[in-house]
Homo-oligomer: A and B are copies of this chain.
Amino acid sequence: MVGGGQLARMTHEAGIPLGIRFRLLSDTPQDSAAQVVNDVVLGDYRDLETLRAFSRGCDVITFDHEHVPVEHLRALEADGVAVRPGPDALVHAQDKGVMRERLTALGIPCPRHRVVADPADVRAFAEDDPGAGGFPVVLKTVRGGYDGKGVWVVSSEAEAAEPFRAGVPVLAEEKVAFTRELAANVVRSPHGQAVAYPVVESVQVSGVCDTVIAPAPGLSPEAAAHAQHLALTVAHELGVVGHLAVELFETEDGRVLVNELAMRPHNSGHWTQDGAVTSQFANHLRAVLDLPLGDPRPRAPWTVMANVLGGDYPDMYQGYLHCLARDPGLRIHMYGKDVKPGRKVGHVNTYGTDLADVRERARHAADYLRGTITE
């Protein structure tokens, strides 16, 4: 697996019972995954020769993030390396412009969008709005953004200068008046076998995923099946191998629009570690190794995941003790990362039959660990 973050850490964890030998390409020995994996290669994933040396002896390579240049992946494939997901799929998770063009051609509902040239073009895009809209407009660099970075909401031409400064193409999108965000997680193998996890609700705070509720409360079986079908269609049409997260906006009239795609285990699937028969991490490995996929069904009526963000104090140990003692059923997942304010350093999962209780337990633990509550 290329990339030493928490996704690789948790993928290795899931690979141990499967008997999978896991090799990691990591920037530093301190990276989250590098702390727990035996076979660690240190190097820069942007360097083709590093990737070539890393891949030698691997049955397949897969990814903790979407940042490996597509041209390197094509070169590896030409060498005979199994790259999963492959570059033809992965480009849709790397470049939001390519993704929007392809999904629209497939008839997959997306927010109104257009690549824009400059701030005046942003105004033209806003004024083109056939509905009641116009400004505000969402601007995104087509590459390199994550967790709210690389995304701006602008209300005028004057505010639209900033996104163009990086020199990366900018995509303009209507600001969707969504009622909530959902995520449809599916996994697909090279054989074409696919499984769909229950559709979840994802609660974002400041552009960062805060809480995930599985399944999404109040979502009708028809709407859930529609969202799963949409994600399976995307996986099939784009030839995705491995885990695919489709982030969705749910609108007031009950439609869903695709927000983002991720082709790797995803924050909206962390609940599966303790809430599903087979976790997204295990199924991602099973898929990229072309093993039969595991049962994606939930194990409890409700599972809630809350991200643990770093707070003002670097030492979380007292909070960790408190949370383990207060709630013996709490499932804690720490990433081995140094605490910095706002940084994702772990998550907690809770499950049970009473959603309000399950949600309160997750919320309390995440807030206590961050230090925003003290009792």
* Copies of this polypeptide in the complex: 2
B36/A22 in contact, CB under 8 A: yes
Q: Which residues on the B side are within 8 Å of A218 (C-beta)?
A: none
Which residues 180-237 of A sit at the B interface, judged by CB distance below 8 A? 195
Query: What is the size, in residues, of chain A's interface with B at 8 Å between Cβ atoms?
Result: 40
Cβ of A325 under 8 Å from chain B:
yes
Which residues 317-366 of A sit at the B interface, judged by CB distance below 8 A? 320-321, 324-325, 328-329, 331-336, 346
Q: Nearest-CB distance from A78 to chain B (Å)?
A: 28
Cβ of A19 under 8 Å from chain B:
yes
Given contacts A35-B21, A334-B18, A335-B19, contact A329 B294 (CB under 8 A): yes
B278/A17 in contact, CB under 8 A: no
Q: Which residues on the B side are within 8 Å of A84 (C-beta)?
A: none
Given contacts A17-B13, A37-B38, A38-B38, contact A328 B22 (CB under 8 A): no
Query: Whole-angstrom distance between the alpha carbons of A336 and B15 in the complex?
Result: 11
A334/B17 in contact, CB under 8 A: yes
* Contact for A334 among B19, B34, B277, B336, CB less than 8 A: B19
B12/A324 in contact, CB under 8 A: no
Given contacts A17-B273, A195-B328, 10 further A-B contacts (CB under 8 A): A10-B16, A10-B17, A13-B13, A17-B332, A18-B332, A18-B334, A34-B38, A37-B38, A277-B328, A291-B321
